[in-house]
Structure 1
């Protein structure tokens, strides 16, 4: 699995020690995952219901996080390559989002309510990853 070149800085930012930087990267990664899910929703032979679940979970996860203070949206160009292998980089990115958000929630300086919201967003990343992978498994 290799992330498309345009996503490598985003993937690296998920490991930032600065909580706001990691959450901004997660916000952008959710946006990318939603774009990908939307793109594959109408593919012949794909599972459009799973694509819809992936898109909705990504949008829900993004809505739980604060809007990034800087940066620009990441456009996914070109479309993911065919087959489940084409979606593997995006599934892996969502798994990284889940892990990064769980780490943020476990870190210092956040109240219980904030931790609960970040953990919920991490759960949305897991749901989106599973659903995105399932869109091309049948």
Structure 2
């Protein structure tokens, strides 16, 4: 039973990290597009009105990607709590450094999970 839980946790961790990497990559590409649009407009000496609707849509897309990223990090924290609830204790299933409790975003959608994760990190130290 423990082996199945560890195996499931490793698969979840792997897929979570892939999703986090994917949204980071999407944000990078959207940000690059957001920088290219006004640069191209200025380099071609076009009016500020040209492409404004597209620039606005791209800016909204970047903001939406930021919201998705926040939800994924909230899910990550919630899974840290779940990990303990299913008896797996403190384990590292993915690459990366866990953030110190003080760096957790105060605008998080899941403050209870963040607090629980901070307590778990403190106990692991």
Q: Same fold (TM over 0.5)?
A: no
Q: Work out which structure has the larger RCO, using CA pairs closer than 8 Å and 6 or more positions apart in sequence.
A: 1
More helix, by proportion: 2
TM-score under structure 2 length normalisation: 0.38
Larger Rg, first or second structure (1 or 2): 2
